[in-house]
Amino acid sequence: MDKTYLVIGDVQLVLAASLLLINIIISVVLQLGLGKQLWMAGIRSVVQLLLIGYVLEWVFTLEQPPLILLVGLIMTIMAGVSSVQRTRRRFDGIYFNSILSILASTALITGITITGIIQVNPWYDPQYLIPLLGMVLGNALTGITLAIDRFMDDLTTGRDRIEAMLTLGATRWEAAHDSIRMALRTGMIPTINSMMVMGIVSLPGMMTGQILAGARPTDAVRYQIIILFAIAAATALASIGGILLAFLRLFSTTHQLRLDRLRRLP
Amino acid sequence: MPSNYLSQQSGITPLLAVQALGRQIQNRWIWKNLQFDLYPGENLAITGASGSGKSLLLRSLANLDPIQEGQLWFQGKVLSSYAEPYYRSQVIYLHQRPALIEGSVEDNLRQVYRFNIHRHQSFDRDQILAYLAALGRDNSFLTRPSSALSGGEAQIVAFIRALQLSPQVLLLDEPTASLDLETVYALETLVQYWQKADPNRATVWTSHTLEQIHRVTQRQFNLQSL
């Protein structure tokens, strides 16, 4: 195979890792107490990335759609689980809700992007499917975390306001409407912000990677544009799904606000 | 038994009927087997030591919390036969801490007409000005921002916001706690004013002062702690 990029050797990795010394020296001098965490984070990221490199090489050799879909499903479930882990409040079924929202939104959007827009043939070609799915998942998970965290926060701090509306005859939907809107905005803000500065402040990782790998910049930006819209759509859908499922859980069909179903993490 | 329960009552159908009501929090019964009626035109006080669950009872009457045992009846029909928004537009619970939205007093009063249940009604400025006149305030009060209101004024707005919807029952959960006496009288006047318009209207009060209970209610229901 004709390589158009420089292959990184082990010595070069060690050199790069030595850059971590800068962080550690700063931590020691300024007594930030982060030394141990920096070591841990450095080692973890190296081990995790080397491992995933091997996993991906194996995945890219796969030719059976069910096996590739299984890999995608595992990635999705992990995204769903970690989206919940960064929220400050919990209710029963929150993991199921997040996994379901992320699964439905990313499956739909990644599917449309792969088959309808990029028109990959065969559709399950892991070289396209897996990185695309990964990027969409990563952003959808941030969106859903921010959205449901904000929603649960708003219901808790705005309890008096919401119950005042319920006591005056509002339906649960009418009472929750403002909180739902705010939560959705919160979930969408990182995506909108990154679209605004795209190419000016930030050169996105995927585009940079393609350019390093020898792709023409004008081709790389086209991929980036597609992925940008896929991310925006999937994040919006995942956030809406997560909020609505939380809404159904935290407001009963008898139009009661059920904060007793919510518990705050210590 | 629910089926023959109402036939035991003679004559008038109670506005609210409480039957074998029980409320549990984290497997502990707060109260159990409550039984009382609220008749048209009546003003009832719920009394009991602090922690006996007076607030919880009023919240349960407003159907804000799930109840673990028993039944509630409104105008002779079991509560579950009503849509909750309709029921709550007829039986309004007023909280000790008024919760207003950002904006002027008038914005707050108009907000409730956006709810589907009140769509057929509209903001009645004359009625509001009559309420305000009864409190010795003029229409400049309507333009005040809700953030600039004192605690007592905010409670006045919360009261008018509820009364303009012409409910049948008001559930008043220590509505005048920590307010100055002048505002306390103003709020009581407001409730009397609303009740005069239809003598069938009834109230349920909890209060931290006995004077107020004697002033505004005729009958007491005492909550025994379990």
| B86/chain A closest Cα distance in angstroms | 6
Examine the pLDDT at B6 and tell me if it is beyond 70.
Answer: no
Question: Is residue B24 domain-resident?
Answer: no
- From B88, which residue of chain A is nearest by alpha-carbon distance? A169
Are the Cβ atoms of B84 and A255 closer than 8 angstroms?
yes
Query: What's the pLDDT at A128?
Result: 92
Select from A168, A252, A254 the Cβ nearest to the Cβ of B92: A168
Q: List, for residues B48-96, the tens digit of each pLDDT value.
A: 988 889 999 999 999 999 999 999 999 999 999 999 999 999 999 999 8
Tell me the pLDDT band of B178, cut-offs 50, 70 and 90. confident
Tell me the pLDDT band of A3, cut-offs 50, 70 and 90. low
Q: What is the mean pLDDT of residues A216-225?
A: 91
| Beta carbons within 10 angstroms of residue B159's beta carbon | 23
Rounded distance, CA B100 to CA B107, Å? 10
Provide the number of structural domains found in chain B: 1
Question: Is residue B206 domain-resident?
Answer: yes
Distances, alpha carbon A19 to alpha carbons A11, A15, A111, A208, B37, in Å:
13, 7, 40, 21, 77
Question: Is residue B137 domain-resident?
Answer: yes
Are the Cβ atoms of A254 and B97 closer than 8 angstroms?
no
Rounded distance, CA A182 to CA A152, Å? 11
Examine the pLDDT at B2 and tell me if it is beyond 90.
Answer: no
Q: List, for residues A145-203, the tens digit of each pLDDT value.
A: 999 999 999 999 999 999 999 999 999 999 999 999 999 999 999 999 988 888 777 77
Contact between residue B117 and residue A169 where contact means Cβ atoms under 8 Å apart: yes
Question: Is residue B33 domain-resident?
Answer: no
Contact between residue B178 and residue B151 where contact means Cβ atoms under 8 Å apart: yes
Select from B92, B101, B116 the Cβ nearest to the Cβ of A167: B92
Q: What is the ipTM of this complex?
A: 0.92
Query: What's the pLDDT at A86?
Result: 85
Please tell me which residue, B188 or B9, carries the higher pLDDT value. B188
CB contacts of A177 in chain B (<8 Å) are none
Rounded distance, CA B161 to CA B99, Å? 11
Question: Is residue B19 domain-resident?
Answer: no
CB contacts of A164 in chain B (<8 Å) are 95, 98-99, 158
Tell me the pLDDT band of B10, cut-offs 50, 70 and 90. low
Question: Is residue B117 domain-resident?
Answer: yes
Query: What's the pLDDT at A260?
Result: 94
Per domain, the residue ranges of chain A are: 1-61, 64-264
CB contacts of B98 in chain A (<8 Å) are 164
What is the CATH number for B201? Answer: 3.40.50.300
Question: Is residue B34 domain-resident?
Answer: no
Are the Cβ atoms of B93 and A257 closer than 8 angstroms?
no
Query: What's the pLDDT at B4?
Result: 40
